[in-house]
Amino acid sequence: MIEVFNLSKHFGSKSVVKDLSFTVKKGEVLGFLGPNGAGKSTTMRMVTGFISPSSGDAKICDVSVVDHPKQAKSHIGYLPESAPLYDDMTVCDFLKFCAEMRGLKGAAGKEAVGKSIETCFLENVARQSIGTLSKGYRHRTCLAQSLLHDPEVLILDEPTDGLDPNQKHEVRKLIKRLGEDKAILFSTHILEEVDAACSRAVIIDQGSIVADGTPEELREQSGSNSLQDLFRSLTTKETD
């Protein structure tokens, strides 16, 4: 479903993503781990077609993001890192707008919005202005827009960032459930989420993949049965 081939990104002379390749199959939840500034968000932005790669390509359901961005984007649901929203709209209006942008109009749009609101537990705030929402509800609203068109591929950039423990638990459960029939790529630097939601994980550091495997395989690789130890040994500390 997601196939990434030799993806690279340079900003001026700085190489942010270096020759990255990986795949995510249907029914797989791939955790994209790495310290801040490792290149996770840049990779995700390239896979979603928001920024173009310096070299390489990504295929979404066999459609190239570089050659056919519009078609590829129609298969993707994307939750950006900061969960950006239009503060002047109500949750319901925002979701209706996103549904229309995805080509879901009239009854189909209404149904998609209703389903999304239900999935993300937004019933209580559906008529509320987004500007007045708490961080948790903002995140869930943005997550809801990514689910509207029932995409085959979900790309979630730090979906649990800023949520309280209960909300984190709910979102992880939701990701796991959605991952049964979708390909999900989600980034995090919270290692406990790997066990809670991922079927596979890659660790990325300074733009390159430094480890790839199931949570069990990665734990074995650490020597001490600890993901945290593996993460610390493979990634560059900011103070280094």
Partner 1 sequence: MFTIFKRELKSYFIQPTAYAVICIFTFLALFFGMFFGNFLERGDASLTWSFFFWHPWILMLLAPALGMRVWAEEQRTGTIELLGTFPTTIWSAILGKFAAAATVWLLALALTFPMIIAVNTLGDPDNLTIFSGYVGSFLLCCTFLAITCLVSAFTRDQVSCLIISCTICMILVVIGYEQVAMRIRQMFSVAISESILSITAFEHFKPAIQGSIRIEDLIYFLSIIVACLLCTSAILNSKRS
Query: How many residues comprise the chain?
Result: 240
Backbone angles phi, psi at 21, to 5 degrees: -135, 135
CB of 137 to partner 1, least distance (A): 16
- The runs of H, that is alpha helices, within the chain are 40-47, 69-73, 91-101, 106-119, 135-147, 165-178, 192-197, 215-222, 227-234
Q: Tell which one of 145, 160, 187, 188 touches partner 1 (CB under 8 A).
A: 145
DSSP string, 168-225: HHHHHHHHHHHTTSSEEEEEES-THHHHHH-SEEEEEETTEEEEEE-HHHHHHHHSSS
Question: Is residue 237 a contact residue for partner 1 (CB under 8 A)?
Answer: no
Task: Specify the residue, 74 or 119, whose C-beta has the smaller distance to partner 1.
Answer: 74
Question: Is residue 71 a contact residue for partner 1 (CB under 8 A)?
Answer: yes
Question: Is residue 223 a contact residue for partner 1 (CB under 8 A)?
Answer: no
- In the block, residue with structure tokens 């960032």: 161
Map residues 87-116 to x or -, x wherever contact with partner 1 holds by CB under 8 A: xxx---x---xx-xxxx-------------
d(CA 216, CA 240): 28
Question: Is residue 19 a contact residue for partner 1 (CB under 8 A)?
Answer: no
CB of 80 to partner 1, least distance (A): 4
Side-chain half-sphere exposure of 84, counting CA atoms within 13 A: 3
Per the CB < 8 A criterion, the answer to whether 29 and 37 are in contact is: no
Task: Specify the residue, 99 or 175, whose C-beta has the smaller distance to partner 1.
Answer: 99
Question: Is residue 86 a contact residue for partner 1 (CB under 8 A)?
Answer: yes
Per the CB < 8 A criterion, the answer to whether 156 and 79 are in contact is: yes
CB of 16 to partner 1, least distance (A): 13
Q: Tell which one of 64, 82, 222, 233 touches partner 1 (CB under 8 A).
A: 82
How many residues form the binding site for partner 1 (CB under 8 A)? 28
Task: Specify the residue, 18 or 68, whose C-beta has the smaller distance to partner 1.
Answer: 68
CB of 105 to partner 1, least distance (A): 9
> Which parts of 46-65 interact with partner 1 (CB under 8 A)?
48-52
